[in-house]
Amino acid sequence: QICLSLVKLLFYLAHSPLGSIALLDFQPRQFVMVDGNLKVTDMDDASTEELSCKEDNDCTLDFPTKSFPLQCSAVGKCEGINEKKNLFNAYRYFFTYLLPHSAPPALRPFLSDILNATGDLRYGINETLKAFEKVLHLYKSGLYLQKRPLLLKDYISLKGFRTVEGEDYKCWPSYSHLGCLLSVHGAEEAAAICNSQSQCQSFIITQQRTWTGRPLASFQSSLTDLIPDANAVVYIKRSASSGKRL
């Protein structure tokens, strides 16, 4: 969410009515999340000036670990230097820390492509935004889920009950520090996640939603403490429920 919001902001700065705007003091502390959108807190160090040049050799974009040769345009300006400066700063301050983590395994290659392409400045801001929106579409639609045997048949569904919220086994990247609360596309994906965790004996799809509209599933190791809830369904592993009274 943070990276996508940042890319949308940089897209606007690259195509602003004032021209391409560079953030000269590009640090994480310069940004804040407001209602799920990243905002710049200080525009004092923003600039619409693009470096003047006479030849391509005048247009090297230097960073502490990398340098990028750019082209000198016909009007004597280093072509796209503000956009590329913003994009590489987004890569080194945000993408490298946030993109490799917490995505479903099937989506990680797409995020790795974005990371590599922005790190080498092979993508401009237009291509980067398009790539992010493709990943978001795959994520929200569930199209990233690979065809595999249906696992939900290995679970008993107990309608009209939910589990008591409390401390249970931890997993990563959980939305709760008390237990294992993960975003899922639906019950089938939740069953696959539960199967992959040795501690998991049951799960429930909660009423909570993430910023993408996906539900959160709570995974638990205990079969006890079920309470009535007309709107809920608890899914229990058949292997866990055998020999036990529900």
Catalytic (active-site) positions: 25
Angstrom distance (rounded) from CA 17 to CA 108: 35
Whether 177 and 169 have beta carbons less than 8 Å apart is answered as no
**Contact partners, residue 125, CB within 8 Å, separation at least 6:** 7, 10, 11, 14, 83, 86, 87
* Torsion angles phi and psi, residue 67, rounded to 5: -130, 145
* Torsion angles phi and psi, residue 207, rounded to 5: -85, -5
Angstrom distance (rounded) from CA 122 to CA 215: 35
Q: What is residue 97's three-state secondary structure?
A: helix
Q: What is the DSSP string of 43-91?
A: -TTEE----B-SSGGG-EEE-SS-EEE-PBPTTSBBTTHHHHHHHHHHI
Long-range CB contact pairs, 170-178, < 8 A, 24+: 171/197, 171/219, 172/102, 173/101, 173/102, 175/208, 175/210, 175/216, 176/218
